[in-house]
Amino acid sequence: MTDVTRHALRPPEAGAPAITALTTPDDTAKAVVIYSGGMDSYTVLHRALSAGFEVHALSFHYGQRHSRELEAARRVCQQLEVTHQVVDIRAIHGLIGNSALTDTQRDMPGGDYDADNMAATVVPNRNMILLSLAIGHAINIGANVCFYGAHGGDHVLYPDCRPEFVTGVNAVAALADFNPVRIAAPYLYASKHEILADGVSMGLDYAQTWTCYLGGQRACGQCGSCRERLAAFAAQEMADPLDYAEPEVTS
């Protein structure tokens, strides 16, 4: 059983902001952004751009059930004229396939986004794998920071989105090469609706994102990811621009 109390949303210290301010880089600073095409990484991408980084976006096809997010990521990067690569690592699918996100034979859990309900969606060691590749790419192009969209709402369920994990990977990334790379997760302590609020303040269009765990023509409205997204829009008293088959949110 996941320790919900230990990993509840909490700030790094009393009074600290949930959203980490980004240091304005110099004119030559490059950053790698792990960009799934979902609303969290979409917001991270724009935060890195707004801070002045030369962004190199990486998306990964690791055998997930559908490619709707990857298609969204590709369109956004084309519109923004951001350097973007979709990296095909489906050869490792057999190593990390024990998840409802990668195994089409397993039922996708519905209902609220919590540990008891959504444990089946954990992809073994996913962010460690993706960050390792992103760090290598950063070193290769002379970037010194990698961004990813871990946030506070993930702490209860996903170990590779927790502050302890970010701290540990940062320590390794500083030692793995002669050129240290920093891992940045600006929403590490933020809730989903705080991420949305930050994106709205930047004028972002969330119709350009895909969140649903299923890959239908319309978002299902029932999986934990959809329900968390819909709850974020409800908290901001906004309508989600995506089309939903069954948009139901618990209070």
Instruction: List, for residues 197-240, the tens digit of each pLDDT value.
Output: 999 999 999 999 999 888 778 998 988 889 889 999 999 999 99
Query: Quick one: pLDDT band at residue 165, thresholds 50, 70, 90?
Result: very high
User: Residue 52, annotated ligand binder?
Assistant: no
Predicted confidence at residue 84, as pLDDT, reads: 98
Report whether pLDDT(4) > 60. no
Enter the tokens of residue 111: 């209902």
pLDDT at 247: 53
Can you tell me the distance from the alpha carbon of 73 to that of 118, in angstroms, rounded to the nearest whole number?
24
pLDDT at residue 224, as a whole number? 82
**Was 205 annotated as part of a binding site?**
no
- pLDDT band at residue 3, thresholds of 50, 70 and 90? very low
pLDDT digits (tens, 9 = 90+) for 122-163: 667 788 899 999 999 999 999 999 999 998 877 677 788 899
Q: What is the pLDDT of residue 11?
A: 52
What's the pLDDT at 43? Answer: 98
Q: Is 158 marked as binding a ligand?
A: no
Is 225 marked within a binding site? no
Residues 184-194 have a mean pLDDT of 94
Its pTM stands at 0.84
Q: Which residues of 60-77 are buried (b: 16+ CB within 10 A; e: fewer)?
A: bebbbbebbbbebbbebb
Confidence of residue 9 (pLDDT cuts 50, 70, 90): very low
76 is known to lie in a ligand binding site: no
Residue 142: the pLDDT is: 95
The answer on whether 77 is annotated among ligand-binding residues is: no
CA distance 124 to 81: 33
135: closest CA among 85, 194, 179, 84? 179
| Confidence band, pLDDT 50/70/90 cuts, at residue 183 | very high
The secondary structure element, H or E, covering residue 147 is strand 145-147
- The verdict on whether residue 40 carries a ligand-binding annotation is yes
The phi-psi region of residue 240 (left if phi > 0; otherwise alpha if psi is between -120 and 50; otherwise beta) is beta
Residue 97 assigned to a binding site: no
Out of 94-98, 111-115, 138-142, 189-193, which region has the weakest mean confidence (pLDDT)?
A: 111-115
Contact 170, 178 (CB under 8 A): no
Q: Annotated binding residue at 204?
A: no
Q: Pick the range with the lowest mean pLDDT from 92-106, 182-196, 235-249.
A: 92-106
Q: State what percent of residues in the chain have pLDDT above 90.
A: 56
pLDDT category of residue 34 using cuts at 50, 70 and 90: very high
**Is residue 161 marked as binding?**
no
Q: Consult the annotation and say whether 39 binds a ligand.
A: yes
Say how far apart CA 143 and CA 101 lie, in whole Å: 30
Q: Which of 1-5, 116-120, 164-168 has the highest mean pLDDT?
A: 164-168
Domains of the chain by start residue, with CATH: 30-210 (3.40.50.620)
Computed over every residue of the chain, the mean pLDDT equals 83
Where is pLDDT greater, at 97 or 128? 128
